[in-house]
A and B are shown apart, each in its own frame.
Chain A
Amino acid sequence: MSDATQSRGNTGLSRRKVLECMTWAGTGVLWTVSGGVPRSLGIIDGALAAEPSKLSFMQISDSHVGFDKPANPNVIGTLEEALAKVKSLPAKPSFMIHTGDITHLSKPAEFDNAQSVISKAGLDVHYVPGEHDLLDEDAKLYRERYGKNAKGAGWYSFDANGVHFVGLVNVVNLKAGGLGNLGDEQLTWLADDLKGKSAETPVVVFAHIPLWTVYEKWGWGTDDGGRALELLKRFGSVTVLNGHIHQVMQKVEGNVAFHTAMATAFPQPAPGTAPSPGPMKVADDKLRSLLGITEVNFVRGQQRLALIDKPLQG
């Protein structure tokens, strides 16, 4: 797991290759924001260090603390490895975002255990909930810990280095037969939140379920995600970061770059390749190549964020 090994393992993995290798699930994606649309640098460990980045942050997703099935009986262990990877970065990221499913069953001990590992990074962490984080009665535990200053079910925004970050919640009030859901109240808030922001402001939107439809049959999309994207249309650089599907998927549409991160807990199958989207059991020596994090870099003056997906093991 040395960096040298990692780099060798990843050499030559073009972005197209990444798209082809959708069976990966992730450790983290390194994002670089640059004035416009985010851009993947591929999965090369050294890329971040080489960039004169103004802002870099980490995305971590789908820790599922409490999960203990064969697909990964030790999710705390792989979460620890993910955090070790964050700590070992040559340039310390400014903060982390966690795109949900921190826990598997929303139990107090699961939240505690997740917190004790994630805090080891020594970074601020901005969370949005996944459906697995709101399973306790009244969904109190998540809100008490992470949603105190958030609106509604837990949405909020903040600014860092001139980049506007919006954390959205698309895992509540789901309708029978439907996909993820933002709802009118949140969309009204979003319209208001973006009002007055100049079109040059780079915007990063993060939420648990993909805002774009990855695979409808498995519920991998958000019914009213298009309404959010409509509100973001006038911005020159929009980056949408999601989790939920436990594998890397990305596309660029106009000024909007979409990207999903690997999980730290267990991989899920590529769309349509299994009877259901449940946890995918892979050979033990392959698991860590499918789990990971994402590093994101922003360089002022460049249009795109740079995203680097970093598997636990190359």
Chain B
Amino acid sequence: MRRPVFTPIPAPIPGRLWLSAAAALLAGVLSGAVASHAVGSAQEASATIDNFTFAPAQLTVKTGTKVTWRNEDDIPHTVASSSRLFKSKALDTDDSFSFTFTAPGTYEYFCSLHPRMTGSVVVEP
């Protein structure tokens, strides 16, 4: 498992802002990847975990999309399917977990450590 954050961050950008900027950049790269790939190749989408919340709470993707969750909170969380289809290990700050959805449907998930945290992935044909 990676060492948790708090490596010195180049001033004057505050840590949180830097993380958000990095996440935005990452999201941009990922969505760019989705857009630029032809049908049939791997598609990707991302979600973040912060402040004990999955965002977006509902994510809509095409069948075959690999979804990556990244924990930006300073407390570990998990991504656990309510139907036990998938479950991450405990994700420390900056750790991520991916799962590829191969069939259409609505997939509910939650954090098995803080079960009030819930989200869903809607997979379209």
Contacts and interface: CB of A to CB of B under 8 A. Distances in A.
B115 A179 contact: yes
Interface stretch (B26-34, B39-47, B57-65, B72-80): B72-80
Nearest to B92: A105
Interface in B82-125: 82, 89-90, 92-93, 108-110, 112-116, 118
A174 B113 contact: yes
Given A276-B51, A278-B52, A278-B75, A69 B115 contact: no
Contacts of B89: 135, 137
Nearest to A69: B74
Contacts, number: 65
B1 interface: yes
A16 interface: no
A279 B75 CA distance: 8
Interface string A168-208: 00000011111100000000000000000000000000000
A68 interface: yes
B2 to A, nearest CB: 11
A219 interface: yes
Nearest to A216: B116
Interface size class of A (residues with CB under 8 A): 20 to 34
B52 A176 contact: no
Nearest to B52: A276
Describe B's contact surface by its main secondary structure: loop
Contacts of B74: 69, 71, 278-279
A132 interface: yes
A177 B90 CA distance: 18
B48 interface: no
Given A176-B108, A177-B110, A69 B6 contact: yes
B53 interface: yes
Interface in A200-250: 216-219
Contacts of A107: 1
A271 interface: no
B10 interface: no
A277 B52 CA distance: 8
Nearest to B1: A105
B4 interface: yes
Contact of A68 (B6, B113, B115): B6
Nearest to B117: A219
A9 interface: no
A70 B8 CA distance: 12
A30 to B, nearest CB: 29
Given A131-B113, A176-B109, 12 more contacts: A69-B74, A132-B76, A135-B76, A135-B89, A135-B113, A175-B115, A176-B108, A177-B116, A219-B114, A219-B116, A276-B53, A278-B52
